[in-house]
Structure 1
């Protein structure tokens, strides 16, 4: 019986990934539950420790207690470690240790890495893992140095270095955790170009995906960008620019947000609020004071999310691009979805549609459930659910008021968002043999 259970648990890469993330969450929640993890020296309620561990491992950033105020340095380091493991993927970290120990990476492990990094084949997967870790540590180190330089102007050297490292790792991994206290995020630095630009750079680079970073690095060798990288860079740039324009237009005269700011600061905050919903969870404006139209627009950005193979969540920019391409093709009466003179395989379009519908089903179901258990406005609940699914971490203040059942639902959404609806589906549903025949074609009326 035990052998059957174990063989089922490790039978597929998606299932192994789900178990691995669940194990890290369990271990992290145990450590955060200890008295030494809190600044008061008292035990943190286990449900709150579990919520924080889930949020950190799933690089979300939603918190029921403030990270800077509630947790001790030990607790904060535990959170930071989970963010790093959750952002890069526990299999990437395990593979790195195996490489250091000069142990051969098995085929099974390569298949799990393929699933974790969202790759189409296992060719060059170990080389990609090496690059993933190298890029991450290099970018985080650069970000930590730049943030430390700024924090040195109003902090002691030790605290400035600690804050610089913590926020660089958090922002690059699109986690959104901060140590500023009072659930304030970066609102105290709304008019600080240095902190804003460095933070946005870390968030954007972390959300592009390691495959794109690898492609950009190889440009020096005369290689061209792949179709994937072109789509990611185009969609990411377009969404950031369009998002900034919309936020700027909606909030320009809002006395509770951008109204009192000068034009330069308004532009800066508009771009930050456009970049952050790409699963980063950092805000320089008080989100509860935003107009409802802006809040709903941020929900859309959070749902789209970052790019495949990155530290971010959401349905991903390439999925959104494939859907837009399919709509444009249908409107023009074309059968093929074409991007940059390349035709997308029909399987890719089907996968994009399936992923989007599964994501919508998860979000709508969780929103309907929480609408019956939580005494709050519908938009606030929808915002929280999409933030959890997109592993964003932005909140309108609902997280700390959630009931026990509400916390469980949000934790499940964070877990599903980090793994991805398709991966979670593959993990839960047994794989069936390939069908060797096709049914007769039928027609239905659409539209």
Structure 2
């Protein structure tokens, strides 16, 4: 017993020192280890439907996609993996959605009934808590909201799958899988060929769409709404910007998608008016991060691909299960443009002033994201003969952890799969690490150089 306590204390000391010296490195390493763990599990024979070992590159790709809540796959999820394989994927999605650092803090809280400063700092960075005092409430909100939404989706879907003669076991398993995949914005489907057969079935599409929408708002928004749901005037600026941007992007994407695809017989043109409108709004939710598709994206028009490139790059709310540079980042950039156009000194929204340090962070995150996508697309095109439009779409989908695809993923060579694995990994932990690095890298200087304004534009 004494030896076990000594080992535990030593591991705790190592963890604390690593966190204090380089929290970003610890986060990167934790995600990498979890991905390798799930890749190893998916490589076992019982994880596949035919009982043979999956090629490690496909197991690694699927594990990365699950833990990074992306949804891109090199094999058909519904036919290639066994029931155990689907359970492993769902668990990976749940772990990735909660966040490794948040999950570690939850375990620590359950065991010791208290959180150390290091754990609180790490979890606050992962979940985007507004302060250390909010962390305990935030973690409680994380658990309540995530499990409540996932269970609600499953309970709604079970009767529907029973009416489709799926049987009790398959109906419950698929419903739980869809609940986890929807809320965590993963886009994985246990059905062969995905959601295409359900493009007319709003009993399935509506709960999945709502689950994706709620999951993309972000845990800080949930906490703020739970505390002040009766007093909208007291909502934080972050909550208001997130809700406004999500709503605006949904409407804009729905209108543009209708313009681009309404007459396309390969996507929405063959549906009735009611089905077309329903599918448009379902896709308008999933285009930014959800990854579900009720029609074949490969048959969509190129202007739709360009629209979704932009939407995937924007992503969802900060501290959510979604990816991208986040809607509040774009909101800050728009506020800066508006302030400059009006000749105002400060960026203002909802009676609040946004500091210039926030703008610098938004510009840094955006430009770094663009640079990563440019480099990733260049490497991807060098590894394949795929044209720019499809290559860019696939790389952005991986980096933004969205999971939509034009149908090229399964035919990629191994080196191109590795490129997408790196993009998914960087997209999931990179933005978090970059944001943490920017926050921790603040320096106060006594001496400041004289200012001079260069010409812009």
Q: What is the aligned-residue RMSD (CA, Å)?
A: 2.1
Asked whether the equivalents of residues 361 and 435 of structure 2 are also in contact (C-alpha less than 8 Å), the reply is no
Residue 102 of structure 1 is matched in structure 2 by 112
The superposition leaves residues 308-335 of structure 1 with CA deviations (integer Å, 9 ceiling, x where unpaired) of: 0110000100001111111111111112
Q: In structure 2, how many angstroms separate the alpha carbons of the residues matched to 1:425 and 1:46? A: 32
Residue in structure 1 matched with residue 194 of structure 2 by the alignment? 185
Give the equivalent residue in structure 2 for 1:332: 342
Instruction: Answer with 120-129 or 326-335: which moved more.
Output: 120-129
Taking a change above 3 Å as real, the CA distance of residues 110 and 147 of structure 1, as seen in their structure-2 partners, is same
Q: Show the counterpart of 1:170.
A: 181
Aligned 8 A contact 2:137 2:223 in 1: no
Q: Is the 8 A contact 2:261 2:269 kept in 1?
A: yes
The C-alpha deviation readout for 1:130-165, integer Å capped at 9, x for no partner, is 110111111111111011121111111111111100
Q: Report the alpha carbon displacement of residue 13 of structure 1 after superposing the two structures with TM.
A: 2.4
Aligned 1:127-276 pairs, distance under 5 A: 127-154=137-164, 155-181=166-192, 184-220=193-229, 222=231, 224-276=234-286
Aligned to 1:370: 380
Q: CA deviation at 1:430?
A: 10
Q: Which structure shows the bigger proportion of residues in helix conformation? A: 2
Measured in 1, the distance between the counterparts of 2:140 and 2:289 equals: 24
Match of 1:343, SS state, is: strand
CA drift of 1:14 comes to 2.1
Residues 154 and 176, structure 2, Cα contact 8 Å, conserved in 1:
yes
Residue 65 in structure 1 maps to residue 75 in structure 2 = yes
**Partner Cα separation in structure 2 for residue 422 and residue 435 of structure 1:** 26
Q: CA contact under 8 A between 1:303 and 1:314: conserved in structure 2? A: yes
1:420: Cα distance to partner?
3.4
Q: Distance in 1 between matches of 2:431 and 2:403?
A: 18
Structure 2: runs of 5+ lacking an equivalent: 1-12
**CA, structure 1 residues 19+435, in 2 after alignment: closer, same or farther (shift >3 Å)?**
farther
Q: How many residues align?
A: 443
Would the aligned equivalents of 1:280 and 1:392 in 2 still touch at CA under 8 Å? yes
Of 37, 42, 45, which residue of structure 2 is paired with 1:32? 42
2:316 to 282, 291, 306: 306
- Give TM-score, length-normalised by structure 1: 0.95
Residues 244 and 271, structure 1, Cα contact 8 Å, conserved in 2: yes
What's the CA shift string for 1:17-42, capped at 9, x where partnerless? 11111110011111111111111111
- In structure 2, what is the Cα distance between the partners aligned to 1:102 and 1:324? 45
Residue 425 to residue 132, structure 1, CA distance change in 2 (3 Å): closer
Paired residue for 1:359? Answer: 369
CA gap of 1:325–1:289, structure 2 versus 1, over 3 A, is same
d(CA) in 2 for partners of 1:308, 1:429: 15
Match of 1:48 in 2: 58
C-alpha contact 2:361 2:438 (8 A) present in aligned 1: no
**What TM-score results when the alignment is normalised by the length of structure 2?**
0.93
> Structure 1's 334 and 404: CA in aligned 2 closer, same or farther, altered over 3 A?
same
- 1:350-400 deviations in Å (ceiling 9; x for gaps): 111110000000001111111111111211000000000110000111211
Deviation at 1:186, TM superposition (A): 0.8
Q: Secondary structure at the match of 2:289?
A: coil
CA contact (8 A) 1:358 1:421 kept: no
The alpha-carbon distance between structure 1 residues 343 and 433, as it changes in their structure 2 partners (threshold 3 A), is closer
Gaps of 5+ in 1: none
1:97 CA drift (Å): 2.2
Counterpart CA distance in 2 for 1:5 and 1:173 is 28
Distance 1:43 1:395, change over 3 A: same
